[in-house]
Amino acid sequence: MVELVSSADSHPPPAAALGLPPFDQICLVVRDLRAALALYEPLFGPFTVLANGAFPSVYRGEPVTTELKVAFGRSGSIEIELVEWISGPTPHRDFVASGREGVQHLRYVVDRIDAWNERLATHGYAPVWSGAYPASEAAPPIAWCYFERATDPLMIELVEFG
């Protein structure tokens, strides 16, 4: 007989403990976006692929320029993001450099990112990477911040749509 043991009895899930809304996106970091699209399109496609070129951001407190290739698919209400790192310091680069591919972060939509810094810090999270995209004809302004904690390989991203 198999006994199921749940840690939820003694520890609330991190999102519940933090008061975060349900996540709306899961990000997989991949080495080759084209190969990942062929692999995952039957599960989550069709994907919308974006190659926006280099953009400014802040990584570990330093202004940087970075470039990523990204693709967005869906599974029900969850957005599936595939990210191929191209250049510049980002958490995606570090993830691939450590020999990993796969789930790298979960995204949560919040009203104000800055209002979460202290709450996340009390749970061991520190901001790592942040930036913003200005409004365009196709989209409202977007600000984001990735958070990490030392004992957890899964990052969380907070995003604020203006």
User: What domain range is 124 assigned to?
Assistant: 21-161
For the record, the structure tokens of 66 come out as 């970075």
Is there a domain that residue 45 lies in?
yes
Question: H helices within 2-124, ranges in order?
Answer: 14-18, 33-44, 91-97, 117-121
Query: 14 in a domain, yes or no?
Result: no
CA distance to 45, 64, 99, per residue, from 76 (Å): 11, 34, 30
**Residue of 14 and 83 predicted with greater confidence:** 83
Q: Please give the DSSP secondary-structure letter assigned to residue 25.
A: E
Question: In whole angstroms, what is the distance from residue 96 CA to residue 43 CA?
Answer: 23
pLDDT for res 107: 98
What would the pLDDT profile of 86-116 be if each residue is shown by its tens digit? 999 999 999 999 999 999 999 999 999 999 9
Is residue 11 one of the residues assigned to a domain?
A: no
Q: How far apart, in whole angstroms, are the C-alpha atoms of residue 59 and residue 20?
A: 23
CA dist 91 and 147 (Å) reads 10
36: in domain: yes
Closest CA relative to residue 70, chosen from 85, 53, 83: 83
Q: What pLDDT, on the 0 to 100 scale, is given for residue 134?
A: 82
Give the other-Cβ count within 10 Å of 64's Cβ: 17
Average pLDDT over residues 59-69: 97
The residue-averaged pLDDT of 77-81 equals: 97
Residue 7 lies in a domain: no
Whether pTM exceeds 0.95? no
- Average model confidence (pLDDT) for the chain? 91
Number of domains in the chain: 1
pLDDT of 15 > 70? The answer is no
CATH number for 95: 3.10.180.10
pLDDT category of residue 135 using cuts at 50, 70 and 90:
confident
C-beta separation of 59 from 68 below 8 A? no
pLDDT higher than threshold 80 for residue 138: no
